[in-house]
Amino acid sequence: MAYALLGFTQLFYNNLGSEGAGIQLLFLSPTPIRTVLLAKNLFHAALFCLDALAAAIVTTLRLGPTESAMAAATVAWLLFALPCNLGAGNILSLTMPYRINPGRISRQRGSQANALISLLVELGVMGVGAGVLALCWYLDDVWLAVPIFLVLAGGALFGWLRVLGNVDEIANRHKDALIATLMKAG
């Protein structure tokens, strides 16, 4: 699941990259940026859930059923990892955006700072997951990981909602840079 999450890094950490010249309309529209980013976050989360479900089905067909404790711990970890990535992605989408050219998406370079910070967030989220699972294996109780991850998920959800509550202010502070960066000719 961690590998599947890595595939969504560009979507999570550059929500507005595909807007192009349409970024101006977002600032002229009466719709708050918070609503736009919430819709993008929910759509990206739904896409990730479909991808995770497909990965789980393929893994089960290939390797057999997963132990129930590990499956529950994985789902609980995903409940922690997804809001962490969405919250950090919202901040980076507004402060370090880069324009996405759909015609050159596979060979285009984005913001190096954005890529580095997103990699650090991913490593941190995976490190927390690995640390909790290692502790639970050491204690010989993998089921203990589930409540730990659920508590972490509550904190991550709170953080994501706090970020969402402040995105309008952040967007207005970075409006000129957003417009200049996303309207550049590809």
- Domain count within the chain: 1
Classify residue 103: in a domain, yes or no. Answer: no
Element (H, E) at 61: helix 33-63
Give the per-residue SS3 of 65-111: CCCHHHHHHHHHHHHHHHHHHHHHHHHHHHHCCCCCCHHHCCCCCCC
Classify residue 24: in a domain, yes or no. Answer: yes
Classify residue 35: in a domain, yes or no. Answer: yes
Classify residue 104: in a domain, yes or no. Answer: no
pLDDT at 1: 80
Using one digit for the tens of pLDDT, what is the confidence trace for 4-45?
777 787 778 888 877 777 788 888 888 899 999 999 999 999
Question: Number of helices and strands (H, E) in the chain?
Answer: 8, 0
Q: Whole domain around residue 34: which residue ranges?
A: 2-98+109-182
The number of beta carbons lying within 10 Å of the beta carbon of residue 76 is: 21
